[in-house]
Chains A and B, each alone.
Chain A
Amino acid sequence: GENVEQHPSTLSVQEGDSAVIKCTYSDSASNYFPWYKQELGKRPQLIIDIRSNVGEKKDQRIAVTLNKTAKHFSLHITETQPEDSAVYFCAAREGGGNKLTFGTGTQLKVEL
């Protein structure tokens, strides 16, 4: 089955700096890669996603890049703000259906 590795496990940045979180996956058949943000005590929220036929996608301050050959994808957050502080999870979907395999999460802390 699919295996997703996520790094780093914790990330501390200054407000206004950029943050990058990286994930690798094992199953070349995986075709969909979402990113979720989870604040303490709240539900995971989908913030951006990318399909395997696209190399990059951007939504305001957030972007995701995908390298199918190397089987890795990354989340980029620019101009970080304190409200970006949360745990971020990457995931990969293998084949049909909606079974997601999640990474172990990155605790992002944006300091003033």
Chain B
Amino acid sequence: KAGVTQTPRYLIKTRGQQVTLSCSPISGHRSVSWYQQTPGQGLQFLFEYFSETQRNKGNFPGRFSGRQFSNSRSEMNVSTLELGDSALYLCASSGFGASNEKLFFGSGTQLSVL
């Protein structure tokens, strides 16, 4: 079974631009969560989608948004990029039943804002 796939692997943008990151969950998984990882703040929850609906949201500004498609693939968008948005963005998916709480992470998208 293929794991969680994130694209692109690396991105370089300049301040003020916007960016879209993509995540394909493990086949059959319907929950997709996004996390931001930085050396200073650690792993911070951005939002979670389940069956195309946002189920949870973290404490990030409205510049950070996401969506989920009917095939469970998800995208997150960051508008008006700031230097502080430079981070590793991780996507995680989870499945059904007793193991539906287990989150499996992708390799992430390393975003650098110049």
Instruction: Give A contacts to B, CB under 8 Å.
Output: 1, 32, 34, 36, 42-46, 49, 89, 91, 93, 96-105
A46 contacts across to B, CB distance below 8 A: 102-104
Q: A43-B105, A43-B107, A44-B105 are in contact. Are A97 and B50 (CB under 8 A)?
A: yes
Q: How large is the interface on B (under 10, 10 to 19, 20 to 34, 35 or more residues)?
A: 20 to 34
Contact of B103 among A1, A42, A100, A101 (CB under 8 A): A100
- Given contact pairs A34-B101, A46-B103, A93-B101, a sample of 9 additional A-B residue pairs in the complex whose CB atoms are under 8 Å apart: A42-B107, A43-B105, A43-B107, A89-B42, A91-B43, A98-B56, A98-B94, A98-B101, A102-B35
**CB<8 Å pairs between A and B, sample of 22:** A34-B102, A34-B103, A42-B107, A43-B90, A43-B105, A44-B105, A46-B102, A46-B104, A49-B102, A89-B42, A91-B43, A93-B101, A97-B31, A97-B48, A98-B31, A98-B33, A98-B92, A99-B45, A100-B35, A102-B42, A102-B44, A103-B42
Cα–Cα, bound, A43→B92 (Å): 10
- B31→A102 contact, CB < 8 A: no
**Secondary structure of the B contact surface, majority rule:** strand
B63 within 8 A of A: no
Contacts of B58 in A (CB 8 A): 99
Cβ–Cβ < 8 Å partners of B108 in chain A: 43
Asked if B15 lies at the interface with its beta carbon under 8 angstroms from chain A, I say: no
